[in-house]
Amino acid sequence: MLHSKRILIGISGGIASYKVCEVVSTLAKAGADVRVILTEGATQFISPLTFATLSRHPAYTDRSFWQPDHHRPLHIELGEWAEVFLIAPLTANTLAKLTYGLADNLLTNTVLASACPVLLAPAMNTEMWQQSTVQRNWQQIKTDSRYHILSPGAGILACDRVGTGRMAEPPEILAYLQSLLYTNGKRDLQGKRILISTGGTREHFDPVRFIGNPSTGKMGIALAQAAIHRGATVTLVHAPVQAELLAVLPSVQLIPTITADEMHQAMLSYSPEADWIIMAAAVADVRPAKVHPEKLPKRSLPDSLPLAPVPDIVADLSQRKQPHQRLIGFAAQTGDILPPAQEKLQRKRLDAIVANPIDQPNSGFGSDQNQAIFLNAQGHQVRIPPCSKLHLAHQLFEFVQAESIHRGA
Catalytic residues: 159
Closest to 365 in 3D by CA, of 208, 212, 204? 212
CA distance 146 to 186: 9
Contact 20, 11 (CB under 8 A): yes
Closest to 278 in 3D by CA, of 193, 213, 201, 342? 193
Contact 315, 348 (CB under 8 A): yes
- Amino acid identity of residue 273, one-letter, is E
- Write the DSSP assignment of 137-177 as a string of letters: HHHHHTTSTTEEE---EEEE-TTS-EEEEEPPPHHHHHHHH
Closest to 291 in 3D by CA, of 213, 214, 212, 209? 209
Cα 396 → chain centroid: 14
Count CB-CB contacts under 10 A for residue 259. Answer: 20
- Amino acid identity of residue 19, one-letter, is K
Buried b (16+ CB within 10 A) or exposed e, 119-128: bbbbbbbbee
Give the CA radius of gyration of the chain.
24
The dihedral region occupied by 11, where left means phi > 0, alpha psi between -120 and 50, and beta the remainder, is beta
Count CB-CB contacts under 10 A for residue 347. Answer: 11
CA distance 56 to 136: 38
User: How many residues comprise the chain?
Assistant: 409
